[in-house]
Amino acid sequence: MVEFNYETTFQLEDENRLEKWIENVASNNGYEVGEINYIFCDDEYLLKLNVEFLKHDTLTDVISFDNTLGKLLNGDIFISIERVLENAKEYNDSFEDELHRVMVHGVLHYMGFKDKLDAEIKQMRTAENSALLLLNN
């Protein structure tokens, strides 16, 4: 089950469609969705988590806490709506496309995708793009 939670005034428009999309991404990669919680928040909220849990005193767009068991995806994905808006402007992308990219980014981490090294970043981007095609078809 995918749940959407809000710590800001932002609200998704089509939660059911996005839940089915996340389930399809998982299935296409040989996984099943257990419990994934999305928490949409602001920069201040996410910065506190970043400092407390990751010891990073920097703004970020997404933090995922992974509780995956084998092929059953579980965890909490925190997304700063403010960062997504800024990133969309910086990358000359729509807010919706950038939001969907960070939403699936967290799930891909649960499946073992990394993004520290150049080769890992390339694999992550390829997986994100493939997932975004599923949503837009």
Q: What is the pLDDT of residue 28?
A: 94
Q: What is the pLDDT of residue 132?
A: 94
Q: What is the pLDDT of residue 33?
A: 97
Sole residue written with tokens 């010891």: 55
Q: What is the pLDDT of residue 80?
A: 97
Give the number of other Cβ atoms within 10 Å of residue 91's Cβ.
11
Query: Which residues contribute to the annotated binding site for Zn(2+)?
Result: 105, 109, 115
How far is Cα 96 from Cα 89, in angstroms, rounded to an integer?
12
The domain segmentation of the chain, as residue ranges, is 2-136
Query: Which residues contribute to the annotated binding site?
Result: 105, 109, 115
Q: What is the pLDDT of residue 65?
A: 95
Q: What is the pLDDT of residue 24?
A: 96
The pLDDT averaged over each successive group of 10 residues in the chain (137 residues) is 96 95 96 98 93 86 94 97 96 95 96 92 94 87
Measured between alpha carbons, how far is residue 137 from residues 36, 41, 78 in Å? 23, 28, 26
Confirm if 36 and 77 have CB atoms less than 8 A apart.
Answer: yes
Q: What is the pLDDT of residue 87?
A: 95
Predicted TM-score (pTM) of this structure: 0.93
CATH homologous superfamily of 2-136 equals Metalloproteases ("zincins"), catalytic domain (3.40.390.30)
